[in-house]
Amino acid sequence: MSIVIAGEVDFPPENRDAALAGAKALIDMALAEPGCRHYAWSADPHDPGRVHVFEEWDSADELQAHLEGEAYRGMLGHLSQFTILNADTRKYRFDRKEPVYGPDGVATARFLSEAAA
């Protein structure tokens, strides 16, 4: 069962870009970990101090290994140098994943596999 991490981390606007730039090696390290499908930290174009966090992990065990590992501990240490004003990250567990676009090329919020069941 896959797990998604989504959230926001807020810095003073003058610190955000340096925090992101210095995190690249740690992001690369996390991306190389077993079970990591996505690990993206990106600047919000509308809020000059905000960073969006998006991660996808194959399993809770692989996410736990990450949370106990060098990349995660390193990221905590790195980001703490840039005055974190607020951090709100959430984890979501899911059991179904489908493309947004159906076979007809039209975007849909419905899960087509549910309609077939």
DSSP state of 46: S
> Phi and psi for 110 in degrees, rounded to 5?
-75, 150
| 66 touches 31 (CB < 8 A) | no
The full length of the chain comes to: 117
Gap between the Cα atoms of 27 and 41, Å rounded: 8
Q: Which fold has domain 3-114?
A: Alpha-Beta Plaits (3.30.70)
Q: Mind listing the pLDDT tens digit of every residue in the chain (117 residues)?
A: 899 999 999 999 999 999 999 999 999 999 999 999 999 999 999 999 999 999 999 999 999 999 999 999 999 999 999 999 999 999 999 888 889 998 999 999 988 877 665
